[in-house]
Structure formats: C-alpha cells, structure tokens
Amino acid sequence: MKKKDKSVSTLIIILILLIIAVAVVLITNFKTFKDENSNTVNNNVTNNNQTVNNEIENNTTVNGNIENNLPTTNVDPNAVNETKPDTSKMTDEELALYLAKEEWGTGQGIYFTINSKKSENEYIVSVSNSETTEVLQWYTVDIKAKTVK
C-alpha cells in the first residue's frame, strides 16, 4: 500500500503544479490583453486630441477676431423651411384649429380653442392669452371652404 500511496501523492502534486502553471499563463495573457487595450485607448485619445488641436490651428486671428477657415453656408434668417401638414388626414376639429393658427400666426403665450360648432362646416375658434385666459380674437372657420373670418 505504501507504493500506491506514494504514486497517488505524486499524482496530486503533479496536478497541483499543472493547475498553478495554467493559472500563471492565464494571468500573464490577461495582463498582456489589458495593456494592449490600454494602449489602444490612449492612442485614440491622443489622435482625437491631435485632431482637435489641428482644427483649432486652422482658425486664424484677424484684427482680434477669430476667423474660421472651415467652409460656411449662408442661410437667410427670414426664409423658413416649413412643410405644411396634409390637411386631408386631419379631423374636422384639427383642421379648424390648424386654419385658425395659420390665420393668427405663431406666438408664445397663446392657445386655440374650439368654442362651438356653428354649422356642419363652421366652427367658432378663440385665440386666448395663456396667462390671463383673455380671448384675444374670435374666428369663424369654414373647414369646407378652408376660410377664416
């Protein structure tokens, strides 16, 4: 039995050494992988900083003002690119409110309300101040003729 005990203990020692060797290899590979990723992140940050610095250097100073050498597009501030909604898909009430809003124009501090239905095609719409609820304007909106009076 002594021979068997000796071979079992030798086998256990070999297995322990094998487990330790595998652990050392895994830890070494993990550190290498971590260092490679760290270098990649640092290189990306450095490249981004260089790009920002290059863009800043492309700006020049003229009479104390910073001039940007990047291409520009002139936009007319009075030109508004509005797309009108498809009124054929609106309900009668939505269309009445939409037509009243077009007549009044845009503005802050106001809201529109349908107060009554005058006939099959006509709605009474009010424009009111949001703070005081005072009615600023009354409209009769004909949704069939698409007119506002």
pLDDT at 38 over 70: no
Alpha carbon distance 84, 91 (integer Å):
16
Residues near 115 by beta carbon (within 8 Å), at least 6 away in sequence: 124, 125, 126
Whole-number percent of the chain with pLDDT over 90 = 46
Domain-terminating residue out of 15, 45, 62: 62
Q: Which amino acid is at 96?
A: A
pLDDT score at 63: 53
For residue 42 the two structure tokens come to 């640092």
- Under 8 Å between Cβ of 111 and 97: no
Do 54 and 93 reside in the same domain of the chain? no
> What are the residues facing 57 on neighbouring strands?
none
For residue 134 the two structure tokens come to 């005072």
Q: 0.95 cut: is pTM over it?
A: no
Where in the sequence is the domain holding 21, given as residue range(s)?
2-62
pLDDT at 119 over 90: yes
pLDDT at 44 over 90: no
Q: Which amino acid is at 110?
A: I
The number of distinct structural domains making up the chain is: 2
Summarised one tens digit per residue, pLDDT across range 71-99 is 444 444 555 556 788 888 999 999 999 99
Do 46 and 96 reside in the same domain of the chain? no
